[in-house]
Amino acid sequence: MYNFDFVKPATVDEAVKALADDEAQALGGGQTLIPTLKQRLASPSKLVSLTGIAEMKGVSKQGDAVVIGGGTTHRTVAEEAASAYPGLADLASRIGDPAVRNRGTIGGSLANNDPSACYPAAALGSGATIVTNSREIAADDYFQGMFTTALEEGEIITEVRFPIPQKSAYAKIAQPASRFPLVAVFVAQYGDGVRVAVTGASNNGVFRWSEAEAALSGNFAADALDGLTVASDDMIGDLHGTAAYRSHLVGVMAKRAVAAAS
């Protein structure tokens, strides 16, 4: 490690002020940021921990949405969203390992937008709203390619609002070593149609599979996806799997999610 300042504000306002410094960066659970610092891929002079901000924590049901504070850990979501939005809770329960789930937060995951992260699939697949200290951003506008989001410098995700679907499920094939998705698909059925979001597959990060959405909106059944494929051109090909394998898995995971949806 190297030397940096550390502050732990108690309110969002204080955090926003602390982040106004040029070289400051927000710290959630540190499950991504701390390793990044250790590898010297980032070197902020000040870390602003968000873990002491009570107003950014917790899970609540508000009308037909589940609202999750930006500083809520994966484990808390897994436990407390289980009755209101089981598909989302199940996704959270399968992120990484217990240590990661006890520390990592939804805000950190969405801010990071790793192309293989789980939460982006849930947010995009639910048409969630990302609420920050200054505005509300629709998921469709929020994800802008791998590791890129609509967030401005110093902007904090304070909560995420997930409209509750009639049915949903998350199907994930894990890369066996890290447990990150090799490919995963989140499917959610709403009154006005079905959303299908794919993570782990594309070089452009999480994306909606619109052909699948159209097919499923007409007939919410796994075999409605028969014959549909995603092109492998933009798929990630790396040490864990080829692009062709990933594009194949998108179809399989989508069907698996539909079949499992409840």
To the nearest whole angstrom, how small is the minimum distance from the Cβ of residue 4 to another protein? 16
The one of another protein, ligand FAD, none whose footprint includes residue 88, by CB under 5 to 8 A per kind, is: none
Residues 6+ apart with CB under 8 A from 185: 121, 170, 171, 172, 196, 197, 198, 199, 209, 250, 253, 254, 256, 257
Angle subtended at Cα 33 by Cα 29 and Cα 36, rounded to the nearest 5 degrees: 150
Among 173, 194, 215, 254, binds another protein (CB under 8 A): 173
Amino acid identity at 193 = G
Distance separating alpha carbons of residues 66 and 64, to the nearest angstrom: 7
- Residue 180 is a binding residue for ligand FAD (CB under 6 A): yes
Q: How far apart (Å, rounded) are the C-alpha atoms in residues 137 and 128?
A: 9
Residue closer to another protein, measured from CB, 68 or 230: 230
Stated as kind and residue range, the H or E segment containing 250 is: helix 243-260
- Cα torsion angle, 147, 101, 198, 138, sign: negative
Taking residues 142 to 161 in sequence order and writing x for each that binds ligand FAD by CB under 6 A, - otherwise, the string is --------------xx----
Q: Out of 12, 67, 77, 95, which residue is the one contacting ligand FAD (CB under 6 A)?
A: 95
Contact partner, 165, from another protein, ligand FAD, none, Cβ < 5-8 Å per class: none
Strands (E), 50-180: 59-62, 65-69, 129-132, 136-138, 157-163, 167-174
When asked if residue 252 is in the footprint of another protein (CB under 8 A), the reply is yes
Nearer of residues 50 and 67 to ligand FAD, judged by Cβ? 50
Among 33, 100, 160, 249, binds another protein (CB under 8 A): 249
From candidates 24, 37, 117, 182, binder to ligand FAD by CB under 6 A: 117
Residue 4 as a binder of another protein (CB under 8 A): the answer is: no
Rg of the Cα atoms in the chain = 18
Q: Is 177 in the site for another protein (CB under 8 A)?
A: yes
Smallest gap from Cβ 221 to ligand FAD, in A, equals 28
Can residue 200 be called a binding residue for ligand FAD (CB under 6 A)?
A: no
Task: Single out the residue of 106, 97, 51 nearest to residue 73, CA to CA.
Answer: 106
Contact call for residue 240 and another protein (CB under 8 A): yes
How far apart are the C-alpha atoms of 115 and 206, rounded to whole Å?
Answer: 6
Comparing C-alpha atoms, which of 96, 97, 115 is closest to residue 198? 115
Q: Give the count of residues interacting with ligand FAD (CB under 6 A).
A: 33
Burial (Cβ within 10 Å: 0-12, 13-18, ≥19) of residue 198: buried
The one segment of 6-14, 130-138, 195-203, 242-250 that binds another protein by CB under 8 A: 242-250
Which residue ranges make up the site for ligand FAD (CB under 6 A)? 25-33, 50, 70-71, 95-97, 100, 103-105, 107-109, 111-112, 114, 117-119, 156-157, 178-180
Which residue ranges make up the site for another protein (CB under 8 A)? 173, 176-178, 239-242, 245, 248-249, 252, 255-256
